[in-house]
Amino acid sequence: MGELSVFHDHVIVVMSGVIVLIVYVMSYLLLNTKYYKNLSEGTMIEMIWSIVPAFLLIILVMPSMKVLYYMEDVKSPSLTFKVIAHQWYWSYVVPLYKNFSYLLDGKFFGGYEYDSLLEDDSMSPRLLGCSSDLVIPLGVTSRLLISSTDVIHSFAVPVMGLKVDAMPGRINQLFVNPSRMGVFYGQCSEICGSNHSFMPIILKVFNLSNYDSYTKNLLMELVEENVSSLSLNI
């Protein structure tokens, strides 16, 4: 997202120069009452108005391609989160404590799965409250695997520069390495049916120690649900 922001500023600077020049030349020509009736060609000015725009396009394309490839680049993630879209809610599978898998009462658990539905809460803006959030750690490269069970949705958290379609039968991936803690809002961004507007996303970034205790709590919940007699000491 930082790279995208820098690219945006770069484009704004170049485009402002172009717009000022074009508006100046156009208004100058419109207001001018004199003309040179024998003028039919001018090699030098034609060279300039061909080469300068081509050069400007190259200046715009180079950083654009850089950001594009950087976004698609496969980093080496420490954690993997699964995001599954449904009509009309999200479900998440998040890694367990210390990114381990656990065998509880003979059942294998590689992650904690839960649903996140629209739910009004006083903290969130209207229609952006969720019954549960996606929590990721600060300063760690995480991978989000995004898919869908019914129709095409789109997982989008604009402030983090995240947006990818959730396609049924297909897995898309996003990488995120947040540089600050906080609560970040998103929504489904592909018209997916009548309740399309009612499947918000809350992405929370915790620092590592809070993230550790959060995943520990998830594991304890899993243990409580699945282990009847055993007492685990974690």
Our CA angle for 77, 83, 87, nearest 5°, is: 165
CB of 185 to Cu ion, least distance (A): 15
Q: Which long-range contacts (CB under 8 A, 24 or more apart) does 114-119 make?
A: 115/86, 115/89, 115/90, 115/91, 116/89, 116/90, 116/91, 116/92, 116/201, 116/202, 117/89, 117/199, 118/88, 118/89, 118/198, 118/199, 118/200
CB of 190 to Cu ion, least distance (A): 6
- Select from 94, 188, 219, 222 the one that contacts Cu ion (CB under 5 A): 188
42 DSSP 8-state letter = -
By CB under 5 A, tell whether 82 contacts Cu ion. Answer: no
**Separation of alpha carbons 52 and 46, rounded Å:** 10
CB of 183 to Cu ion, least distance (A): 21
Region from 58-66, 105-113, 187-195, 223-231 binding Cu ion, contact rule CB under 5 A = 187-195
CB of 192 to Cu ion, least distance (A): 3
By CB under 5 A, tell whether 153 contacts Cu ion. Answer: yes
Name the residue among 133, 124, 123 with its Cα closest to residue 218.
Answer: 133
Name the residue among 182, 163, 170 with its Cα closest to residue 71.
Answer: 163
By CB under 5 A, tell whether 148 contacts Cu ion. Answer: no
Region from 32-40, 53-61, 156-164, 181-189 binding Cu ion, contact rule CB under 5 A = 181-189
Region from 123-131, 167-175, 180-188, 223-231 binding Cu ion, contact rule CB under 5 A = 180-188
**Separation of alpha carbons 188 and 202, rounded Å:** 11
CB of 195 to Cu ion, least distance (A): 8
- Residue nearer to Cu ion on the CB measure, 188 or 203: 188
Number of chain positions touching Cu ion (CB under 5 A): 3
By CB under 5 A, tell whether 157 contacts Cu ion. Answer: no
Q: Are strands 102-104 and 89-95 parallel, antiparallel or unpaired?
A: unpaired
By CB under 5 A, tell whether 192 contacts Cu ion. Answer: yes
Binding site for Cu ion (CB under 5 A): 153, 188, 192
